[in-house]
Structure 1
């Protein structure tokens, strides 16, 4: 039991963006117990961002964690990280604590902070643009996400990225894999062949690329909320996809999307190299 708890504490990547939160939470409670980590204290009016430890080649293996942290940087909201892998009272991760109040789910977190701090990153968008932005956010958060899960847990038989997150815990990885295969099939993506999923993946990326066109950011010259979702998701495919289903696809076939992600990284993550473990070769500095 203690070994499993230690493995989860040090390498807790099997959550949102790698594994759906409810499943991860149940398995965590079942195999690792319910012991809570001590809370980190922070200054008033500062967001405490609870998330998993840093990823090997992007700041997290969770696209939702990258999405949320990018939003905090884009909005200029003061925050500090809690990388202990805590779950919220609702069993969610990432989540935030703001002035003693816990808020879960990236959608509700962003909505909460926008209202609380009077932030509107979409203020320059008209109603039609807001509709397009919502559609592409759903594409990233609710659809392409499952291709990411499929590629990591089903297609990559070696579970390469997963093992970077959970070394030394083959029993836990095996149990999570069985669960994730069932989840991907239940969601619907997993009933397709790898060839069919690749066609879906390419078509969705083409739609994103066509809409981006020559714009600096998805909706124009100024980044907005949807860029947080799209960048969070695409960052996983560009920097943390090692299989031949998703790996290098964006770099080789969609240069506009690749350059877009590089712009996002340069603008909002100048400390990127300090926020990754460089393939697990050294701890992240931040």
Structure 2
């Protein structure tokens, strides 16, 4: 647990859902790192419009006698917390190829899969995603804001490149990503004993890649706007679900598990 000198941390997750995972993989990514570092924190609601960079998660650090400080962007949040020794720098011991593998896994999910799966959420299951993402905005204003969000996301996906693929091509690309992650996890699971956690790079401790992988697996398992990906994980990539279940039991026993 955190020491008496540790700062008070509030993680703003965007939804008022205590003891539940949220649909953002980046929120769960930060929670994973806080919990595996035994760092206490409080969950706040907040929202993209309240965050320093206009997105979630963002984090507030408060120390007695000092002004509170807001941090945003999951990667930069964790980088700052590591630099200040608030959470463990789990990648400090990585060398050579492991450093590159860790970064590659994170980039594969955060810079590629994120945009590919965004189409499933914001285009194919728009109404479900709109009502969940914009839950705090009263209807009918939600209809107008939702249309603006829809157009912005469609443009974003197109400019990034993910929006230029057909639905069938997108599904195949998403499956390729999870096949790669699954291969790493299957190799790691063979080294695990009993029901203990196993990690993406096959080591005895998690790395930053695990925070990202866990965040993305859980995000898709709990997201009602991602039924295809949820089914894909459960039917074709069960090792990813098992990986998340073991982490859940070890580090998130107070949270509801996905169905």
TM-score calculated relative to the size of structure 2: 0.81
Structure 2 gaps of 5+ residues are 63-67, 189-197
What residue in structure 1 maps to residue 128 of structure 2? 160
The number of aligned residues is 233
Q: CA deviation at 1:90?
A: 3.6
**Contact 2:7 2:61 (C-alpha < 8 Å) held by counterparts:** yes
Q: 2:18, 2:43 within 8 Å by CA — same for their partners in 1?
A: no
Matches within 5 A, 1:262-277: 262-273=245-256
CA contact (8 A) 2:21 2:222 kept: no
Is the counterpart of residue 105 in structure 1 residue 73 in structure 2? yes
User: By how many angstroms is 1:116 displaced?
Assistant: 0.4
TM norm structure 1: 0.74
Contact 1:238–1:247 (Cα < 8 Å) also in 2? yes
Counterpart contact for 2:11–2:44, Cα < 8 Å: yes
Deviation at 1:178, TM superposition (A): 1.7
**Secondary structure class of the residue paired with 2:230:** coil
> Hey, what's the Cα distance between the residues in 2 that align with 1:95 and 1:245?
29
Moved over 4 A (4+): 54-58, 241-244
Report what 1:46 is aligned to: 8
The root-mean-square deviation of aligned C-alpha atoms, in Å, is 2.5
**Aligned CA distance change for structure 1 residues 57 and 206 (closer, same or farther; 3 Å):** farther
Matches within 5 A, 1:127-276: 127-156=96-125, 158-166=126-134, 168=139, 169-215=142-188, 216-220=198-202, 221-243=204-226, 245-273=228-256
1:49 touches 1:79 (CA, 8 Å); kept in 2?
yes
Cα pair 1:166 1:173 within 8 Å, conserved: yes
| Separation in structure 2 between the aligned mates of residue 76 and residue 205 of structure 1, nearest angstrom | 29
| 3-state DSSP of counterpart to 1:148 | helix
